[in-house]
Amino acid sequence: MITVSRRTLITGAVAVAGCQDRPAKPAPPNTIAAAVAGPWRPPADRARDRFRHPAESLAFWGLKPGATVVEFWPGAGWYTEILAPFLAATNGRLYAAHMQLGDAADASARDVVQAFRTHFADEKLYGKIELTAFGPTSGPVAPAGGADLVLFLRNLHNWMAAGIAEKAFRDAFLALKPGGVLGVEEHRAAPGGVPDLLAEDGYVDQAYAIRLAQEAGFRLAATSEINANPKDTRDHPFGVWTLPPVRRSSPRGAAFDPGFDHTKYDAIGESDRMTLKFVKPD
């Protein structure tokens, strides 16, 4: 197993400098750095780069031009805004495996999926994103054995709470080609405690996450501290969602509390996160 620090990562991207007497022409999104710097990304998304380190994380997971990538539960598309233009510009392919919508799906889930469809409809910029589904009874998230990279981005705790974490790893394993990579970014629980198998506060034990992946057939290739945050004490009144970007001020389902003091939680920033790289053996 290899441990990689943030400082030792090399993105392999070259910045494009503009002339001093006129604005620089935006670089085509055919490098990770150019996709991260893309002017189409919302300002609120770009402001979070200092916590999520997308260029470093994608380099760590080994994203290459022309890759076939599966993003599980992309939500509003924070990472899709980077992945889709990069893959479209390099003749790659992106599968977005949204939450499974069935008869029991709530309206908010349907709204998320529809908003995603609408926002990423511009095929000139984003390419043709293949929408699939992941959930309790979903089928394959992508053609079996065809993906180079599968990404679990801050969703493992949701699947643990829903009892479908094991299925997520199995479905990822099925989608990947031999030698393909599963990249995981997840809120990290304090080490040494008893793992909360439901992840009720949003934090996941790193050793438990590794065990789930290994039980599905994956080999742990590397870990990284790219997305670590030593300021995160993990003892927040409303779990990880007390911190930015959610900034919850009351229990889930309760009304917003205008008197809640966010100061110390905002000073922490976003959560401490594990960043893991698994490989499907040849």
Contact between 249 and 256 under an 8 Å Cβ cutoff? The reply is yes
The share of the chain scoring above pLDDT 70, in percent, equals 90
28 part of a folded domain: no
Q: Per-residue confidence at 105, pLDDT binned at 50, 70, 90?
A: low
Does residue 15 form part of some domain?
A: no
Surface-to-core class of residue 62, CB atoms within 10 Å of its CB (0-12 exposed, 13-18 middle, 19+ buried): middle
Q: Tell me if 269 is assigned to some domain.
A: yes
Report yes or no on 36 lying in a domain. Answer: no
pLDDT tens for each residue of 32-91: 999 999 999 999 999 999 999 999 999 999 999 999 999 999 999 999 999 999 999 999
For residue 1, the model assigns a pLDDT of 55
The mean-pLDDT minimum among 7-11, 209-213, 251-255 falls in: 7-11
Answer yes or no: is 11 within a domain. Answer: no
- Domain membership of residue 204 as a residue range: 42-279
List pLDDT tens digits, range 119-162.
Answer: 999 999 999 999 999 999 999 999 999 999 999 999 999 999 99
- Tell me what pLDDT residue 212 has: 98
**Is residue 83 domain-resident?**
yes
Q: Give tens-digit pLDDT for 179-194.
A: 999 999 999 999 988 9
* Cα 53 from Cα 40, distance rounded (Å): 18
Q: What is the pLDDT of residue 4?
A: 52
| 255 within domain boundaries | yes
pTM of full prediction above 0.95:
no
- Whether 161 contacts 199, CB under 8 Å: yes
Residue 63: give its domain's CATH number: 3.40.50.150
Number of folded domains that form the chain? 1
